Amino acid sequence: MAERPYIVGNWKMFGTRAMLSEARAIDRAAQRYMKVEVAVAPPYTLIHAVHKEAEQIGVGAQDCHPGAEGAHTGDINATMVADAGAKFVILGHSERRQDHGETNKLINEKIESALEAGLRVILCCGESLETRDAGEAEVFVLRQLKSALGAFDDPAERLTIAYEPIWAIGTGRTATTDDIAAMHGAIRKLLDQTFGEEASAKVRILYGGSVKPDNAREILSTAEVGGALVGGASLTAESFLGIVVAASESDEV
């Protein structure tokens, strides 16, 4: 893995101010693993507070509305999350696609607004079990990505991909390392074709879906895995740091 591994915690809809002590512990410990880039995406309500605590780790948002300010009750746009201290935003997560009917078109609009606000983007993709069983996982994932990559003039600075098979998220079931290597390889080929090999090489492809301290080392040593997007195991400093340590020691780093 040429680039620094990137370990990102996606806190989803978990966390009140009581979680700030976990953020602080993650931040302090991350200072001992400078080889690894560590970040968390807390709920909107905690972005500013985590940003104020963080000396080492990056802070991001889990989503943003694509529009400029306006009459959209309950929505938060990219400028607002950047103002709160976010440096990146996760877009296209399967829970947003499923729970909120997000389409590739809407995700594209969000990408454009995020880039305009100066944010980096972690762009998620991943297939359902039905799609995988039908042998169409690769075609499906590459189609999700193709529709979004055109927005990035400067992928090296702004783009991270997260491959998260839907059936592995929160289930305790991970893809095999062969499946991960095959999908990440296919994504890398698409990035090479789209941006050229030099720019593509700087885009990290994270794996997500039930990454835990005890499977992180194997996953992070897999070809073309540049880090992990971690849900459940990012909610305590202890388990999240287990993954950071694995990243700092993984063979390919």
Subset of residues 184 to 213 that bind ligand PGA, contact rule: CB under 6 A: 208-211
Distance, CA of 8 to CA of 231 (rounded, Å):
9
Task: Give me the residue whose beta carbon is nearest to ligand PGA.
Answer: 231
User: Minimal distance in Å, beta carbon 119 to ligand PGA?
Assistant: 18
Of 22, 102, 164, 224, the catalytic one is: 164
Q: Residues with Cβ < 8 Å from 206, sequence gap 6 or more?
A: 6, 8, 122, 160, 161, 162, 163, 225, 226, 227, 228, 229
Cβ of residue 242: shortest distance to ligand PGA, in angstroms? 13
The residue (of 115 and 228) whose beta carbon lies closer to ligand PGA is: 228
- Distance (Å, rounded) from C-alpha 137 to C-alpha 141? 6
Per CB under 6 A, which region of 97-105, 147-155, 195-203, 226-234 contacts ligand PGA? 226-234
From residue 43, give the alpha-carbon distance in Å to each of 35, 90, 186, 212.
26, 11, 32, 21
| Catalytic annotation present for 164 | yes
Q: Is 81 in the site for ligand PGA (CB under 6 A)?
A: no
Report the nearest approach of ligand PGA to the CB of residue 235 (Å): 9
Q: How far is the CB of 174 from ligand PGA (least distance, A)?
A: 9
Which phi and psi (to 5°) does residue 52 adopt?
-70, -30
Q: Which letter does DSSP use for residue 68 in this model?
A: -
Q: Which is nearer to ligand PGA, 199 or 246 (CB)?
A: 246
Is 93 assigned a catalytic role?
yes
Residue 39's identity, in one-letter code, is A
Q: Out of 51, 65, 93, 184, pick the active-site residue.
A: 93
- Could you please report the per-residue DSSP string of 176-188? -HHHHHHHHHHHH
Task: List contacts with ligand PGA (CB under 6 A).
Answer: 10, 164, 169-170, 208-211, 229-233
What are the catalytic residues?
A: 93, 164
